[in-house]
Amino acid sequence: MNRILIIEDDPAIRNAISDVLRLEGFEVLLASDGEEGLRAATREDPDLILLDIVLPKRDGYEVLRCLRADKVLAPVLMISAKGQEIDKVLALELGADDYLTKPFGMAELCARVKAQLRRAQIAQGPTLRGIRSLGPFRIDLDARRVTRGDPDSDQDIPLTRTEFDLLALFLSAPGKAFAREEIMKQVWGYERLPNSRTLDNHIFELRHKIEEDPKHPKWIQSVRGIGYRLSKA
């Protein structure tokens, strides 16, 4: 049984989500502030974390930063009334896997939770392995590490889990135009979500880490009307 940790200070929202997830067959853990949530995440080893941003003691951004610094790799789905693009981008930069703006429907929440759990399960199976090169970058697919430069004087390029998964997918078929739906299915576990900018936000962040000029990308190119591809150049 998958264990889901809900870090949410509003008791009505926390209990509503908890009731729905339990009906779906999940074991649910609850935390009402950031510090309690951090303790539960490190002690209970949840399979997925639902994390609000506005929390007592430590806000969701700080909690997320601490989780990733402590190598807690469970998928994190942010749930927040903060719906500006900058809020979503910051959460993704810090290592969130998805972002859902309040108010939301419980059916969509459950769909996203299940998609993240499927994705985590797929990531444990057979994947592209070995070391790949991309211009000045060296991508170690087994160690999930990206470096720039030669092996003796390399510079680490810190990618989030989702950014690395995107890069690994593109590396599996350089030059191929991946449809948005295919990327969403391979990386997130679902084919489409209405009004979702999740993919574009992650591509935006990935480009800023590996492109010399993110506004005119050399490596990760947009394919109009389709999606994205990795240049062979």
Sorted by where each starts, the structural domains of the chain and their CATH numbers stand as 3-123 (3.40.50.2300), 131-230 (1.10.10.10)
Radius of gyration for the alpha carbons in the chain, expressed in angstroms and rounded: 18
Residue written as token pair 């290592």: 95
Burial of 111 by CB count in 10 Å (0-12 exposed, 13-18 middle, 19+ buried)?
middle
Q: What is the pTM of this model?
A: 0.64
The closest of 84, 40, 79 to 60, measured between CA atoms, is 79
C-alpha to C-alpha distances, 183 to 21, 160, 165, 180, 190, nearest whole angstrom: 27, 16, 10, 5, 9
* CA torsion, ordered 64, 68, 73, 74, to nearest 10 deg: -10
Beta-ladder partners of 228: 178, 222
pLDDT reported for residue 199: 86
Which of 95, 20, 89, 19 is CA-nearest to residue 51?
A: 95
d(CA 122, CA 117): 9
Mean pLDDT, consecutive 10-residue stretches, the chain (233 aa), reads 94 96 95 95 92 96 90 89 90 90 94 87 60 89 83 78 90 92 81 66 92 93 94 77
Chain segment 124-143, per-residue pLDDT in tens:
544 567 888 898 898 988 88
Q: How far apart are CA 167 and CA 171, in angstroms?
A: 6
pLDDT at residue number 193: 55
